[in-house]
Amino acid sequence: MTRLYYKRNITIVMAERTRRSGRSQEHGGSARRGISHRKIQAAAARLVRRDGLRDASVRKIMAEAGLTGGAFYAHFPSKERLLQEAFSCAVQERRRLLGKTLGDSRGRSYVESFLRAYLSPEHRDNLQTGCPYAALLSELPRASRSVRVRVREEFARGVQRFAKRIHGRVPAKDRRTAILSLCLAFGALAMSRTLAGFPEADELLEVAAEASKYWRV
């Protein structure tokens, strides 16, 4: 009786240890998978801005992330899905950086500070860590619909966030100012990169950064 009792208890204890070990391994596997997923996102976000949507191949992205190419489909069903996530990742990264610079500014001060911070030589010269809109401006119209849908969603959020920081008396006017400011910034930065190495590149940034002085916010 005593021997059967101990044998049963040992069986129960071993089974519980096995269950705990399985849960621990599952949790560890999920954590590792999450880390790898974020590495791929970050690598893709850098490469699409540097090399473009087409030239940022899955092979290049996985190598940049320090992973084997065969692991790609364990994380993404297609390159299109990765491009969507990479674009959002790049947008969020740029928002965080600008957020630290702009602080709690509001109204006209926010518009002026945004344009000055965004249209800087440092931002222009750091393509793979810069804004994905400006980096991909000529490519996005030819991107797949799924990627353009993601771009549209991020742009809509960006306009809404920008308009809230203006917070004027007329919300419709704030929205128009937000759209104007963002589009001016994207286009001016892209054009300045086109003229990089020529004196007009810096002149263009300076003029565009002061543009809000010429319209009422």
3-state SS of the chain: helix, strand, coil percent to 5? 80, 0, 20
**pLDDT reading at 127 higher than 60:** yes
Which residues constitute the domain of residue 19?
2-214
Task: Please count the other Cβ atoms lying within 10 Å of the Cβ belonging to residue 92.
Answer: 13
Cα–Cα distance for residue pair 128/94, rounded to 1 Å? 11
Report the CATH number that the domain containing residue 139 is assigned in CATH: 1.10.357.10
Number of helical (H) and strand (E) elements in the chain, helices listed first: 9, 0
Report pLDDT for 168: 81
Structure confidence by residue, pLDDT tens digits, 149-170: 999 999 999 999 999 999 888 8
Mean pLDDT of all residues in 187-212: 96
* Burial status of residue 97 (CB atoms within 10 A of its CB: 0-12, 13-18, 19 or more): middle
Mean pLDDT of all residues in 110-117: 96
* Burial status of residue 117 (CB atoms within 10 A of its CB: 0-12, 13-18, 19 or more): middle
- How many domains is the chain built from? 1
* Burial status of residue 170 (CB atoms within 10 A of its CB: 0-12, 13-18, 19 or more): exposed
Report pLDDT for 153: 98
Chain mean pLDDT for the chain: 89
Instruction: Average the pLDDT over each of 25-34, 117-126, 171-180 and give the range with the smallest value.
Output: 25-34
Return the axis-axis angle of helices 199-209 and 107-118, rounded to nearest 10°.
170
Q: pTM of the entire structure?
A: 0.83
